[in-house]
Amino acid sequence: MSKHRCYIQGSAAISAQPTFDGDFFSAPLTTTSANNLVAMEPDYKAFIPPNSLRRMSRMLKMGLTTALKAVQNSGQPSPDVIITGTGKGSLSDTEKFIRDIEAYKESALNPTPFIQSTYNSVNGLIALQQKSTGYNNTFVHRGFSFENALLDSLLQLAEGNVQRTLTGAFEEMTAEHFYIKSRIGFWKEATIGNAALFEHNTPGSISGEGSTFFLLGNDKTPHAEAVITGMKMLYKPSAEALNKALPQFLQKHDIQPGDIDLVITGRNGDINTDHYYRVLFSAHCPHTPEVPFKQLCGEHDTAGAFAVWLAAQILKRRALPAILQPYVSHLPKTFRRVLIYNHFIGEQHTFFLLERV
C-alpha cells in the first residue's frame, strides 16, 4: 500500500506483565517457572456488568475489556469500524464444545460454547457494547492475523471511508493446546521460564497469550501515542529476499538505518529461527540498540500486536522500560523512530515502522 500516516489515538494491552494497570515502565519482570506465560487479568467489573460476566468466557472478557480500555484511553467517540485478528480465537470454548459433543453423543448440547468459540465473537460483543453498526471484520491468518487487521484498518483510513477504527488482536492458551504444540516442537523441552529465555541455545520457545487493542485515526488527537508510518509483510521469504526487503522498506519511507533509534525484535530463544534477526540487523543496523519482547508476552500468533503497543508506549514516554534496559549497552539519545521486526515460526515475517507524535 502507499505511504499513509496513521495515529494511535489510544491503546490498551492485557499481557503477562502489568500492562493494563500500574506502571509498566518501572515494574520488574513478571516471571514464570513454567514454559507458559499466563495473562494478568484485570478486575473486569469496572468494564462489564456482573450479570454479563457470568455468561462470558475468559477470552471474551479479555478482548472486550481491552477494547473498551483502548477507546477510553483515546478520549475519542466510539469507532466507526471494528477490525481484529486472532490465530485461534477462544480455545477454551472450542475445546468445551468438542468435549460436549463426545460426552452427550451429539445431543442436548449447550450452544453457548459454540457461539463463543467462533472467531468473530469478540468483535460482535464489542459492536453490541459500542452500538457500532459499521464494518466489522476478523482475520484468522496465523502469524499474519493482526497484520492483516492492521492493513485493513490502514486502507480504510487512507481511503477516507472512516475517521476511527478499533483494531486489535487476542489469543488464548489452554493446557491441551500447549500439549499439542509441545508435541510438534513449538516449546522448549526443558522448563526454563521467561527470565532465562535467551540463555538456552535450544529449539523451541515459551508460549504466551493476551489481548491488545488500538484506536486508530487520521488525526493527531490530545492523547495520541505514536504514528504508524509503515508496515511490510513477507511470507516464507528466502534469505536473499529478506536481506533486500529491509533496506527497500526503509528507502520507501525515506529513512536510513541510522535514522532508527531503537529496534524491537521478536527473538524468542528458538535456535531454529532466531538467526533471522541476528543476520538481518548485523548487516543493516549493527549500531542500533535492539531489544527483544517475547520474554514479556510469550510466543503466539498475534504477538506482533504487543510489539506495536510496546513501541507506542516507548515513543509516548520517550523512555525504555526498566525491564528492557539490560538488553542494550547504551540508551538512545532520543526516541523518535522505532522499527519492529517479528516473524512467526520463520514463515510470516513483518516490519513495522512507528514514529513519535
Q: pLDDT, tens digit, for every residue of 321-356?
A: 999 999 999 899 899 999 999 999 999 999 999 999
* Domain 227-355 -> CATH class: alpha beta
Section 284-303 average pLDDT = 97
Section 253-279 average pLDDT = 96
- Specify the CATH number of the domain 6-217: 3.40.47.10
Tell me what pLDDT residue 109 has: 84
| DSSP assignment string, 195-239 | TTTTS--BS-B-B--EEEEEEEESS--TT--EEEEEEEEEES--H
> 6 pLDDT band (50/70/90 cuts)?
very high
Asked if residue 1 has pLDDT above 70, the reply is no
Please indicate whether residue 110 or residue 214 has the higher confidence score (pLDDT): 214
Domain boundaries, given as residue ranges, for the chain = 6-217, 227-355
Domain 6-217 matches domain 227-355 at the CATH topology level: yes
Run of H or E residues at 72: helix 58-74
* 264 closest CA partner among 332, 186, 166, 169: 332
Section 200-211 average pLDDT = 97
Q: Which amino acid is at 185?
A: G
C-alpha to C-alpha distances, 307 to 68, 146, 294, nearest whole angstrom = 20, 11, 9
Tell me what pLDDT residue 234 has: 98
Asked if residue 141 has pLDDT above 60, the reply is yes
